[in-house]
Chains A and B, each alone.
Chain A
Amino acid sequence: AQKITQTQPGMFVQEKEAVTLDCTYDTSDQSYGLFWYKQPSSGEMIFLIYQGSYDEQNATEGRYSLNFQKARKSANLVISASQLGDSAMYFCAMREGPSGSQGNLIFGKGTKLSVKP
């Protein structure tokens, strides 16, 4: 069964607008970590934001925020004030174990974001 689901293969957003990238996850663990990574065309994986399952507040990192809804098992990424350089693939990922500390990352299929000028 798929553990990380990203239902949007591609998204378009106008420059300077906000965009939400969806991510739902499936786990029976009580402790886990949720991550978002950005992968530009060059291929490197750029860490954006992390949310622990026991974190009560939604994580924020600059223009990135994670809308964590534990009961719905969703961890959507919100990018505010989109920039042209935000155009890339975005992957949601999960790691199970205390604070998401153990094991490998399980990735979703990704969402290709295109920012229009």
Chain B
Amino acid sequence: GAVVSQHPSWVICKSGTSVKIECRSLDFQATTMFWYRQFPKQSLMLMATSNEGSKATYEQGVEKDKFLINHASLTLSTLTVTSAHPEDSSFYICSVLPSGRAGELFFGEGSRLTVL
């Protein structure tokens, strides 16, 4: 079964509205989660690193005021796309780094955002 749950899988919204995507670690605690963005037929690009109890670390070129990340607990990180525009339409996927473990990252199922 899934070890990382991401919700919603699909979301369609109007321009100017905000959308929240949840990434939940089901099987283990995670002090670190990563948020990626993937455009059609392209690779995954890291947006930000979410750290439990502290501010997220954003990659260059990613607007932190537009993509709000909250990692309030060891099992939940949220990404909020604020004032969404059509160019924000993309596939957003989170991954979880289990605390104290090396090796594999676990990915959520991804969330496909369409902004009209």
Using CB atoms and an 8 Å cutoff, list the residues of chain A in contact with chain B.
Answer: 33, 35, 37, 42-47, 50, 52, 91, 95, 98-101, 103-110
Cβ contact within 8 Å between A45 and B102: no
| Distance of A74 Cα from B58 Cα, bound (Å) | 29
Cβ contact within 8 Å between A105 and B109: no
Cβ contact within 8 Å between A101 and B102: yes
Chain A residues in 8 Å Cβ range of B60? none
Interface size classification for chain B: 20 to 34
From B38, which residue of chain A is reached at the shortest CB distance?
A: A43
Cβ contact within 8 Å between B91 and A43: yes
Nearest CB on A from B93, distance (A)? 7
| Distance of A104 Cα from B32 Cα, bound (Å) | 10
Nearest CB on A from B54, distance (A)? 16
Cβ contact within 8 Å between B110 and A91: no
Tell me which of A44, A91, A106, A109 has the highest count of chain B C-beta atoms within 10 A of its own C-beta.
A44
Kindly state whether residue B95 has any CB partner on chain A within 8 Å: yes
Nearest CB on A from B75, distance (A)? 19
Bitwise, B42-79 to A at CB < 8 A (1) or not (0) is 11111001000000000000000000000000000000
Q: Which of B102, B109, B110, B112 contacts A33 (CB 8 A)?
A: B102
